[in-house]
């Protein structure tokens, strides 16, 4: 079995993985992922008991129990680059032997459930008490193409259809289409609106926002909003889901994103009082994962 170089799997002197600062066994097999470190702490307050609290950089991790179910919650920070680090190191904690630095022969599949906030791209999506499940995602970040055999996870038909309709600028990263875990979509996504999520590599220009800098393609959102896949329209913009879905598919994990819709880009609406609806989403998701 090929040994992983020390510079590839970087560990602290105490044996914990570099960015997460965690040891094997410290994470539950069901992990809630949030962008905001403060939201990780908020979720932990709903746990019946906490066995682990670890804080390193923007990554705040708790592992505890909710109604008898062992669950972890971890903040990731924002963007596909951060998700790429987090998912790879979570996988390493379960599927790499840290002592001998080799991949384990028997791999473990874990549940990665992202709870985020997002802006809607369809005018009929409200911004108050509105939750959206990402049945699939289109990545505008290009991350998937840095990995060999990316076509094992990328839905090429979904991707080609998006390219033919939207025709992004030639110099921009090539988009890629990926889908949620069918199992988690069924078991955790019921009762909420589903859609296709656009994952952008930034909050301003990549999502068409103009402050002092104009964007290269001001009509991109209008074209993208016409796209649909499996009966779902492009529904929202956010910054993590495509990488989460792609890496989970490549590594054999199950992933799902559910977002609290707090803005509508078409109607130019924003809900500044979204924390109440986010707390409702947290409690509802804890209930759903407790019976996984």
Which tens digits make up the pLDDT trace of 95-129? Answer: 999 999 999 999 999 999 999 999 999 999 999 99
SS3 244: helix
Residues 34, 238 contacting (CB under 8 angstroms): no
Which structural domain, as residue segments, surrounds residue 131? 30-289
Residue 6 is assigned to a structural domain of this protein: no
Number of domains in the chain: 1
SS3 150: helix
Contacts of 82 (CB under 8 A, 6+ apart): 58, 76, 240
Residue 18 is assigned to a structural domain of this protein: no
Residue 91 is assigned to a structural domain of this protein: yes
Residue 132 is assigned to a structural domain of this protein: yes
Residue 34 is assigned to a structural domain of this protein: yes
CA distance 150 to 139: 13
Residue 208 is assigned to a structural domain of this protein: yes
Strands 176-179, 131-139: pairing kind: antiparallel
For the segment 216-272, what is each residue's pLDDT rounded down to a tens digit?
999 999 999 999 999 999 999 999 999 999 999 999 999 999 999 999 999 999 999
CATH number at residue 238: 3.40.50.1580
Residue 218 is assigned to a structural domain of this protein: yes
Would the pTM count as exceeding 0.95?
Answer: yes
Residue 21 is assigned to a structural domain of this protein: no
What values do phi and psi take at 223, rounded to 5?
-70, -45
């Amino acid at each position: 079995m090929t040994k992983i170089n020390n510079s590839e799997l970087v560990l602290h002197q105490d044996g914990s993985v570099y960015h997460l600062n965690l040891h094997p066994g410290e994470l539950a097999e069901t992990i809630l992922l949030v962008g905001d470190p403060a939201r990780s702490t908020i979720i932990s307050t709903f746990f019946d008991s906490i066995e682990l609290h670890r804080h390193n950089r923007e990554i705040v991790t708790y592992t505890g129990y909710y109604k008898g179910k062992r669950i972890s919650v971890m903040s990731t920070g924002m963007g596909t680059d951060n998700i790429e680090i987090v998912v790879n190191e979570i996988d390493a904690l379960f599927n790499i032997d840290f002592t001998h630095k080799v991949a384990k022969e028997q791999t473990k599949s874990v549940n990665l459930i992202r709870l985020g906030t997002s802006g809607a791209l369809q005018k009929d999506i409200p911004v108050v008490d509105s939750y959206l499940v990402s049945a699939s995602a289109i990545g505008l970040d290009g991350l998937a193409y840095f990995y060999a055999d990316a076509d094992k996870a990328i839905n090429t038909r979904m991707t080609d259809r998006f390219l033919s309709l939207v025709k992004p600028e030639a110099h921009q990263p090539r988009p890629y289409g990926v889908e949620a875990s069918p199992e988690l979509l069924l078991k955790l996504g019921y009762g909420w609106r589903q859609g296709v999520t656009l994952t952008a590599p930034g909050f301003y220009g990549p999502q068409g926002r103009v402050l002092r800098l104009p964007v290269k393609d001001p009509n991109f959102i209008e074209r993208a909003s016409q796209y649909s896949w499996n009966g779902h329209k492009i529904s929202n913009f956010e910054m993590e889901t495509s990488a989460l879905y792609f890496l989970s598919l490549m590594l054999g994990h199950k992933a799902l994103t559910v977002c609290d819709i707090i803005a509508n880009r078409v109607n130019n609406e924003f809900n500044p009082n979204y924390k109440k609806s986010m707390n409702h989403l947290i409690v509802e998701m804890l209930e759903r994962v407790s019976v996984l």
